[in-house]
Structure 1
Amino acid sequence: MKVHQRQEGEITVLDLEGRITIGEGDVILRDSIQGLLQSGHQKILLNMARIAYMDSSGVGELLGVFQSVTSHGGKLKLLNISTKIKDLLQITQLLSVFEYFNDEQKALNSFVS
């Protein structure tokens, strides 16, 4: 998995690309989030438009980084999740845990409100 980082004001957007599975993408995501938290970034938006696949390990990793951000007083939200990933989160009853958006501007604005 590849992670491209960009800033939109106080919000850090991570554009993710590839797969989030055990051994592929999970450690990269965790390390990226930990680095942001250590640097004082607390508003994080994960753009998942280019995530081709995510398995149950990926779901676990997503939940883990969400909990990590939350425990540091931050907010983590999802952008552009595919139907398959949305279904996976719904099946695991985790969809309600995450705030998710299909429009980047609405997602960015949600950090302010």
Structure 2
Amino acid sequence: MSLHIKREQTGDVAFLQCAGRIVRGEALHFLKDAVVCLSQPRIVVLDLTEVAMLDGGGLGMLVFLHRWTRDNGIQLKLVNPSNFVREMLDRTHLTCVFIISSMDDVLEILCTPTHVTMDVSRAINRAVA
């Protein structure tokens, strides 16, 4: 199984739903390009609910994306990591590095004065559906 990414952007919030494997090889380039090529987001949400495998290369790419987004004034949020992904983040102590949220937490954070609640909610619901 390879990596599949469903991308949705509403205003300055980008939501990327990842499914499959974030492992060395083409998947890493695909994930990097999906984030780096976004159109000026303020927040990037990576939904990791359906990620079945994450290796050292995948962890390295998540760290790269964390640094890249931070250096570009963008917030990176990991949402609902699968049990396997959460275990890998725990084992490597990367839970201290990333903002890990539930979908409800993200919706609450995104409902700020700069966003229309319904637009953000619709974007996330379309991406999850």
TM bucket normalised to smaller: 0.7 to 0.9
Q: Deviations over 1:25-80 (max 9, x none)?
A: 111110111101xx211310001111111111100001101110010001000111
Q: Answer with 1 or 2: which has the greater Rg.
A: 2
Q: Which runs of 5+ in 1 are unaligned?
A: none
Of 5, 8, 11 in structure 2, the residue corresponding to residue 6 of structure 1 is: 8
TM-score, length basis structure 2: 0.78
SS class of match (2:37): helix
Q: Match of 1:31?
A: 33
Counterparts of 1:49 and 1:24 in 2: how far apart (Å)? 20
Residue type matched to 2:63 in 1? L
Q: CA RMSD in A?
A: 1.7
SS of 2:29 mapped into structure 1: helix
CA distance in 1, matches of 2:99, 2:46: 11
Match of 1:56 in 2: 56
How many residues are aligned here?
Answer: 110
Runs of 4+ deviating beyond 2 Å: 7-10, 108-112
The whole-number CA distance in structure 2 between the counterparts of 1:85 and 1:57 is: 13
Q: Which residue of 1 aligns with 2:104?
A: 105
Aligned to 1:70: 70
